[in-house]
């Protein structure tokens, strides 16, 4: 019986970081009661009653990347002929949408029957060739200006 009382006395005693040993069963019982209450709260209320183990947090934000402009590159074909190639936004970002990612073209396959020519940019607002500077990228999205008013 004496060992049981001593064991209970050690179990319900409270010590701090400074190693002050307090021989007070009342404070020890309060300490263990608070610990047990917190443990029961977590197990019963949070995990079992509220089903906290099933909670899911969904993201509510989205990131959007917008690519603008055009690229010019000097290509040399297999016959040694040099061609100026223009790439626009659709050429370098196809497909436009990807799940959880961004796609940028790193390898581009050209087909022999396709070619690029000059087209009229209605928003350029030029009336003669001096109004159009060659090599500038059109703000309206038609690519690189040729320097000629078409």
Q: Which residues contact 15 (CB under 8 A, 6 or more apart)?
A: 21, 22
pTM: 0.35
Name the β-bridge partners of 71. Answer: 87
What pLDDT sits at residue 112? 64
Per-residue pLDDT of the chain (150 residues; tens, 9 = 90+): 677 777 777 788 777 777 778 888 999 899 999 999 999 999 999 889 988 888 787 777 766 777 777 777 787 777 777 777 777 777 777 666 677 777 777 777 766 666 666 666 666 667 777 766 776 666 555 666 777 776
Q: What is the largest CA-CA distance in the chain?
A: 112
């Amino acid at each position: 019986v004496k060992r049981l009382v001593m064991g209970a006395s050690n179990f319900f005693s409270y010590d701090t970081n400074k190693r002050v040993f307090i021989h007070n069963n009342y404070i020890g019982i309060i300490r263990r009661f608070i610990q047990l209450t917190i443990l029961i709260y977590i197990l019963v209320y949070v995990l079992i009653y509220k089903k906290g183990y099933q909670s899911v947090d969904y993201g509510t934000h989205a990131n959007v990347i917008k690519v603008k402009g055009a690229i010019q590159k000097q290509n040399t074909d297999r016959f040694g002929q040099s061609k100026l190639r223009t790439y626009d936004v659709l050429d370098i970002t196809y497909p436009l949408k990807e799940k959880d990612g961004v796609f940028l073209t790193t390898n581009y396959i050209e087909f022999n029957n396709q070619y690029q020519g000059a087209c009229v940019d209605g928003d350029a607002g030029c009336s003669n060739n001096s109004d159009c500077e060659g090599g500038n990228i059109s703000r309206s999205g038609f690519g690189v200006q040729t320097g000629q008013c078409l």
